[in-house]
Amino acid sequence: MTKATDTLIEEPILEIRNLQTSFFTDKFEVKAVDGVNFAVPKGKTLGIVGESGSGKSITSLSILRLIQNPGKVKGGEVIFKGENLLDKTEAQMRQIRGNEISMIFQEPMTSLNPVYTVGQQISESFQIHQKMSKKEAMLRSVEMLKLVGIPSPERRVKQYPHELSGGMRQRVMIAMALACDPELLIADEPTTALDVTIQAQILELMKDLQNRLGMSIIMITHDLGVVAETCDYVAVMYMGKVVEYAAVKDLFKHPKHPYTVGLLNSLPRHDIDLEDEELQVIKGSVPSPADMPKGCRFAPRCPFASEICRERLPDLEESEDGNQIRCWIYTDEWDGEPEVNVNGERTS
């Protein structure tokens, strides 16, 4: 299997190798993350896209070792700045979380504490990780709120989360996540719950902060528009696996995996009039984890599936352009149509 780093000129700040996380129920094992590989180049943004349940959130929680029972990280490596986070003690992980790696969640209301003021919550991180005094920490909190574009921050630090709008709460979340100047920010659907005009503000803010602070970002989203606008590289996930990893321009211009092609074609766009054409669809739906296909996970829905696809799982292989793809079509072992037209482009 190729390593994710092989394709990248840039040095990765984080590299995931064969990560496996499962949930164990009475009846069977749900392989939520099933051998995931990818790298996040330093100072860049990696997008993770995929349908609901494909394992995006569990991947990010596994990186931070926040998986709870009945879930378990079963194997693999999470190499952050050269060291495997899976070998760290819990005490070491606490130092890393919120300090070197921060996370923003989809639902700001569930991750902000309703009984503390915004200022108290941001201050906490300064007091714990940077050993600041209470007063110093509060002053820094005001600065952080100013940084994320909240008007009259002196007043806002004294307010409780419910007194803020959804967009402002998300800004507070970002302020908290950035308080300790993390090297890596993991943002799980940071704008999904927001209106588009507010989303535009938040994405602009994140880009601006990345430019100024130089952090690396993992952006988890199901929105291909957000990916196109904010990411440098993209990992497409399907049923717990990365099926395609590519530079963002390549992914949108020359998508290779039949699933990626299907996703892009089924997207109704506000900027293009299809006239009266039907949307192209991916047939069927994601199988339940209980009846996981034996070969390629996408085979039951793939228009190109052939004998080998149903029998054997393809590896994530590097293609000529340096991107990575998990599909038999692009290998010498392909036993289907010799010239397949995956996306208006013939392979052979």
Residue 148 binds ligand ATP, judged by CB under 6 A: no
Pair of tokens at residue 171: 């800004």
Burial of residue 10 (CB within 10 Å: 0-12, 13-18, 19+) is: middle
Helices (H), the chain: 56-63, 90-96, 108-111, 118-130, 134-147, 153-156, 166-178, 196-213, 224-230, 248-253, 258-265, 307-311
Closer of 41 and 71 to Mg ion (Cβ) = 71
Q: Pick from 50, 190, 262, 314: which binds ligand SF4 (CB under 6 A)?
A: 314
Grouping H, G, I as helix, E, B as strand and the rest as coil, residue 33 is: strand
Closer of 140 and 301 to ligand SF4 (Cβ) = 301
Residue range at the interface with Mg ion (CB under 5 A); choices 11-19, 53-61, 171-179, 294-302: 53-61
Closer of 120 and 306 to ligand SF4 (Cβ) = 306
Number of residues that bind Mg ion (CB under 5 A): 1
3-state SS string for 75-120: EEEEEECCEEHHHCCHHHHHHHECCCEEEECCCHHHHCCCCCCHHH
Residues 24-63 that bind ligand ATP (CB under 6 A): 30, 32, 50, 52-58
Pair of tokens at residue 151: 């008007």
Cα–Cα distance, 112 to 126 (Å, whole number)? 16
| Chain centroid, CA 29 distance in Å | 23
Number of residues that bind ligand ATP (CB under 6 A): 14
CB of 21 to ligand ATP, least distance (A): 8
Nearest-CA neighbor of 97 among 60, 145, 139? Answer: 60
CB of 235 to another protein, least distance (A): 16
CB of 309 to ligand SF4, least distance (A): 3
Q: Pick from 57, 117, 170, 260: which binds Mg ion (CB under 5 A)?
A: 57
Residue 234 binds ligand ATP, judged by CB under 6 A: no
Closer of 202 and 340 to ligand SF4 (Cβ) = 340
Cα–Cα distance, 108 to 96 (Å, whole number)? 21
Number of residues that bind ligand SF4 (CB under 6 A): 13
CB of 300 to another protein, least distance (A): 13
Cα–Cα distance, 25 to 270 (Å, whole number)? 42
Residue 71 CA: distances (Å) to CA of 32, 101, 137, 316 = 9, 21, 36, 25
Closer of 55 and 190 to ligand ATP (Cβ) = 55
Vertex 57: Cα angle to 55 and 58 (nearest 5): 65
CB of 327 to ligand SF4, least distance (A): 3
CB of 289 to ligand ATP, least distance (A): 5
Pair of tokens at residue 32: 């939520």
Residues 244-263 that bind ligand SF4 (CB under 6 A): 257-258
CB 140 within 8 A of CB 132: yes
Closer of 166 and 336 to ligand SF4 (Cβ) = 336
Q: Pick from 118, 299, 316, 323: which binds ligand SF4 (CB under 6 A)?
A: 299
For residue 1, the partner it binds in ligand ATP, Mg ion, another protein, none, with Cβ less than 5 to 8 A by kind, is: none
Residue 222 binds ligand ATP, judged by CB under 6 A: yes
Residues engaged in binding another protein (CB under 8 A): 51-52, 165, 167-168, 195-201, 203-204, 222-230, 248-249, 252-253, 262-264, 266-271, 273-274, 278-282, 285-286
Q: Give the number of other CB atoms < 10 A from CB of residue 130.
A: 14
Which chain residues interact with ligand SF4 by CB under 6 A?
257-258, 296, 298-299, 302, 304-305, 309, 314, 327-329
Which chain residues interact with Mg ion by CB under 5 A?
57
